[in-house]
Amino acid sequence: MNDNRAIKAENVHKAIKKQGYFYILAEKYYGEGYIGPKYIIATDDPDFRENHPKLADMVIVPVDKFLKMAEAINSSLLNDRREKFRQMHFHNDDGFFEEMTNDEGNDITLTVADMSTDPVADEVENTMIRERILNAMNALKELQRKRLYDYYFKGLTYRQIAVKEHVGYKNIRESVEGAIKKIKKNL
C-alpha cells in the first residue's frame, strides 16, 4: 500500500526501541473534525503517564493492541482506496456503471438481453420495484436507514459517516452491511 498514512509495524518497533513509544496524530486517521485526544500512543511502559505528564491525557495503548489497531487502519485505508478507484473508473456522474475492464484489461460491455419494448410494462415494473425497495428500507431501524442513505445516496465513506456520528468505523460498516442483508431478505 502506497498510502503515506499506512502504519508499518517495523516503524512502530523502531520508534519504541529508540524512544520507548510510538504515536500517531488521531485526526489524521479519524478524519477532519475528529473530537478527542490529539495523539494515540503505543507503549509497553507501565510508567509512561508519570514519565511523560504532558502526554498523560492522550490515548495510550499497549503495543500489541496498537498493532492490531494499525492492521485495521491499514485495511480501512486500502478499502477507501479501492472505493475511490471503483468510483473513478466504474461510475459516471449519475452513479451508474459505464464501462469496465476485466483482469486482462479488456473492455466489458454490460447488456440486457431481454429488454422490454413496452414502456407501460416497464413503468409498472419499475414502480413495483421502487415500492419493494422502499418497504424494505422502511423496515430498517432509523439509524441503519440513515447510514445506508449516507453511504449509497450521499456517497460518504464508512470513515466519513463514523466521524460525522462520532462512532467507530466498524460500527458503521457492520450497520450498513446488516442493512443490505435485511433489504435483500425482504426483497
Query: Which domains, from first to last, does the chain contain?
Result: 9-89 (no CATH), 115-186 (1.10.10.10)
pLDDT at 165: 93
Q: Give the pLDDT mean for 157-173.
A: 91
- Please write the tens of the pLDDT for every residue from 14-59: 999 999 999 988 876 666 777 788 888 999 999 999 999 998 888 8
Task: Considering only CA atoms, give the Rg of the chain.
Answer: 23
60 by DSSP, 3-state: which? strand
pLDDT at 168: 92
b vs e for 109-143, b when ≥16 Cβ sit within 10 Å of the residue's Cβ? eeeeeeeeeeeeeeeeeeeeeeeeeeebbeebeee
DSSP H helices, the chain, are 9-19, 26-30, 48-51, 63-90, 119-138, 142-152, 158-165, 169-186
User: Is pLDDT of 115 > 80?
Assistant: no
Mean pLDDT, the chain, whole residue set: 78
- Please write the tens of the pLDDT for every residue from 51-109: 999 988 888 889 998 888 888 777 777 777 777 776 665 555 555 554 445 555 555 55
- Max alpha carbon distance in the chain (Å)? 77
